[in-house]
Each structure stands twice: as C-alpha cells, then as structure tokens.
Chains A and B, each alone.
Chain A
Amino acid sequence: DQQVKQNSPSLSVQEGRISILNCDYTNSMFDYFLWYKKYPAEGPTFLISISSIKDKNEDGRFTVFLNKSAKHLSLHIVPSQPGDSAVYFCAASVSGSRLTFGEGTQLTVNP
C-alpha cells in the first residue's frame, strides 16, 4: 500500500522557468510533510517542510503547497537553476511517527 506517491518519475524544465513537483497521499492522518533533494552518490538532504495547519510555506526559491482536501502536495522552484537538477522525494508523517517516502522525481533543469 503506497501511501505517498509521486506519479511523475521525471520532469524536464528550462533554466529560469518554474519547476512543479507533485506528490499525492492517501493517509488523511498525515500532518507533516517534507521534501528532500538527492544528488547522485550523496544522501538525501532536507529541503523544506510544511505542517498540516498551513497551506503554504516558502523558503527562498522553494515553496511548498498543501491541499488537504485533495491530499496533494506540490513543490515549486522559481526560478529553476541547473544546480537544482536532482531527485526530489516527498515524505509524510503522522505526528511523532516515522516518515513515509514517495518514489522520487528526477528533475532536470536544462541551461
């Protein structure tokens, strides 16, 4: 039972444009959501998170949106840069419980 799904294995965008990565979840008890970025041969690094009491959280070029009614999470990167090319994982948890990860989306930003 895949409770967190990233339906797009890959996404390609032009430098300077917006990248939108999507994540859907099925467990309505999830109340904390995170995005991680992973470069080849490195471990995932924490990028941004959002609590279920919010619908938006921004950190520089990165914004996470949460739509609880649709059980949908998205990460917007504006403007996209070639250095953003990486695999992005979304993850979710119920307060105080362990993280459940999606399958990941490979983002490629073309110069």
Chain B
Amino acid sequence: DAGITQSPRHKVTETGTPVTLRCHQTENHRYMYWYRQDPGHGLRLIHYSYGVKDTDKGEVSDGYSVSRSKTEDFLLTLESATSSQTSVYFCAISDPGGQGDFGDTQYFGPGTRLTVL
C-alpha cells in the first residue's frame, strides 16, 4: 500500500469555522490531489498539486484552498465551512513519468469524514 495518511480521520465542526485537513505521503510522489466523495457524484477533484508550491484548481474548488510547502504534505483548507461541504475527503498521489504527465494511476489515502453543522 502507498504510504498515505490523512488527519484527522473524522471531524465535526460548525458553520463558519475554518478547517484544515492534512495529507501526508512517504512515497515522494510529485502529484497530490484532494477529492470529495458524495452520493451520486463519485469522486470530484477539488485541487491538485504538481510540485512544492505548485497547485491548481479542480472541478469543485470554490470555498477551498490548498498549500504545499513540502513534497510530503498537502493541506486542504475550508476558510469558512458550510453545510454543503459536509463530505468525505480523500487525498491521492501519483508518480508521473515526465513534465506535465499526471501519472494516470492514483493511490488514495483512507479519507477524512467531515461534518459541518
């Protein structure tokens, strides 16, 4: 199994509070991703990173920001949590073969279940 951990694994918070989720990898993979999983929607990409300090938006990025100051850590921040952000969040990593190559096979962490009341 790829060495990917996520913290916390569960969190309950209130609307309007900031929340930060952490993804840590020990595989030295260049690409890291944040997804959310919701019933009927599968996995939707929030943000991704292709290197330290290099990030870009996914398809559902509104209300989220990310940071990557080290290869092994990718943080997802909800600046002001809303009930619509209640979801299960997954981090993933991939090992691309070259510049601009996402490295199609992604490996996932165990997930964080976030509830916003």
Contacts and interface: CB of A to CB of B under 8 A. Distances in A.
Interface of A: 4, 6, 32, 34, 36, 41-46, 49, 89, 91, 93, 95-99, 101-104
Given A96-B101, A103-B41, 12 more contacts: A34-B104, A34-B105, A36-B108, A42-B111, A43-B109, A43-B110, A43-B111, A44-B108, A89-B43, A95-B101, A96-B104, A98-B48
B44 interface: yes
B66 to A, nearest CB: 14
Contacts of B101: 95-96
Interface in B62-116: 90, 92, 96, 100-102, 104-111
Contact of B102 (A46, A96, A104): A96
B104 A93 contact: yes
B58 interface: yes
A101 B42 contact: yes
B47 to A, nearest CB: 11
Given A41-B111, A42-B111, A44-B108, A97 B41 contact: no
- Main secondary structure, interface of B, reads loop
B51 to A, nearest CB: 15
Contacts of A41: 110-111
A93 B108 CA distance: 17
A100 to B, nearest CB: 8
Nearest to B97: A96
A102 to B, nearest CB: 5
Given A93-B102, A96-B100, A96-B102, A101 B44 contact: yes
Interface in B11-49: 33, 40-45, 48
Contacts of A101: 42-44
Contact of A46 (B42, B58, B100, B107): B107
